[in-house]
Amino acid sequence: MANLNIVLFEPEIPANTGNIGRTCKATGTRLHLIEPLGFQLNERAIKRAGMDYWKDVDVTRYMNWQDFLEKNPRANIYMATTKGRKIYTEVQYEPDCYLMFGKESGGIPEEILKEYPDACVRIPMVGETRSLNLSNSAAIVLYEALRQNQFGGLKLEGQLHRLSWED
């Protein structure tokens, strides 16, 4: 089973964090929040986006980037950034890796990216598009990591209740 992690560096918009939390709950992924946050975790907007799943999300908060590093010294981190030289599908995600995303207004600071140039991955976009929505980006990269790890622990098949596939 994959034990993936999503790291949000100083997220600013509660609805994005709530949506990501819901995705984490649905995939068994741990959520790591690096402060300062642009909102309170008890805000209605985060709970609305995370729906009734938010209370069950495995969330860890950190005072800052250094605190995160100290508490996760062996974290294998992949950083989603428009400055990445590799496409997010060109790396091999380990089952316990950390997928990091920056704040909505500015991404992951360049001083951090410069420390991890080989860990920077990019989602392709047309022309000069600045970025995708944070929760969309997190879902895209997370599901690629899950796919590479055979969706370990996730339900792979659904079933229609009223109709049969054979009808």
Is the previous residue joined to 117 through a cis bond, with omega within 30 degrees of 0? no
Residues 44/45/51/54 CA torsion (nearest 10 deg): -80
User: Which H or E run contains 48?
Assistant: helix 44-50
**Stated pTM of the model:** 0.90
- pLDDT: is 63 or 150 the higher one? 63
Residue 151: per-residue pLDDT: 83
Given a cut of 70, is residue 25 above it in pLDDT?
A: yes
Contact in structure between 114 and 127 (CB atoms under 8 Å): no
Instruction: Let me know if 148 is exposed, middle or buried by CB neighbors in 10 A (0-12, 13-18, 19+).
Output: middle
Domains of the chain: 5-148 (3.40.1280.10)
Q: How confident is the model at residue 126 (pLDDT cuts 50, 70, 90)?
A: very high
Radius of gyration, alpha carbons of the chain = 16
Contact in structure between 16 and 135 (CB atoms under 8 Å): yes
Residue 153: per-residue pLDDT: 81
